[in-house]
Amino acid sequence: ARPVILDGDPGHDDAVNILLAHASPELEVLGVTTTFGNVGLERTTRNALTTLELVGAGTPVYAGADRPLLVPRLSAESVHGQSGLDGPLLPSPTRQAEDLHAALFMIAAVRARPGEVTLLPTGPLTNVALAFRLAPDIVPLVREVVWMGGSVDVGNWTPAAEFNALCDPHAAQIVFSSGVPVTMFGLNATHQAVATPERIAPIRALSRREGASAVGEVVAGLLEFFAEHHRDRYGWNGGPLHDPLTSAYLIAPHLFGTQAMWVDVDTSGGPSTGRTNCDVWNLSGHAPNANVAMTVDADGFYALLTERLGRL
Separation of CA 225 from chain center: 18
What are the DSSP E strand ranges found in 95-151? Answer: 118-121, 144-148
Q: Does 16 bind ligand BDR (CB under 6 A)?
A: no
Decide: residue 192, CB within 10 A, 0-12 exposed, 13-18 middle, 19+ buried.
middle
> Are 36 and 130 in contact, with CB atoms under 8 Å apart?
no
Contact set for ligand BDR, span 118-157 (CB under 6 A):
122-123, 148, 156
Distances (CA, A) of 236 to 13, 200, 227: 17, 14, 8
For 242, the 3-state DSSP assignment is coil
Shortest separation between residue 156's beta carbon and Ca ion, angstroms: 12
Q: Active site includes 9?
A: yes
Which one, 11 or 31, has the nearer CB to Ca ion? 11
Which of 33, 38, 127, 306 touches ligand BDR (CB under 6 A)?
38
> Are 44 and 7 in contact, with CB atoms under 8 Å apart?
no
Which one, 49 or 206, has the nearer CB to Ca ion? 49
- What does 76 bind: ligand BDR, Ca ion, none (CB cut-off 5 to 8 Å by kind)? ligand BDR
Which one, 122 or 267, has the nearer CB to Ca ion? 122
Shortest separation between residue 311's beta carbon and Ca ion, angstroms: 23
Which of 147, 163, 225, 301 touches ligand BDR (CB under 6 A)?
163
Q: Does 11 bind Ca ion (CB under 5 A)?
A: yes
> Are 9 and 122 in contact, with CB atoms under 8 Å apart?
yes
Q: Does 86 bind ligand BDR (CB under 6 A)?
A: no
> Are 279 and 262 in contact, with CB atoms under 8 Å apart?
yes
Positions that interact with ligand BDR (CB under 6 A)? 11, 13-14, 38, 76, 79, 122-123, 148, 156, 162-164, 242-243
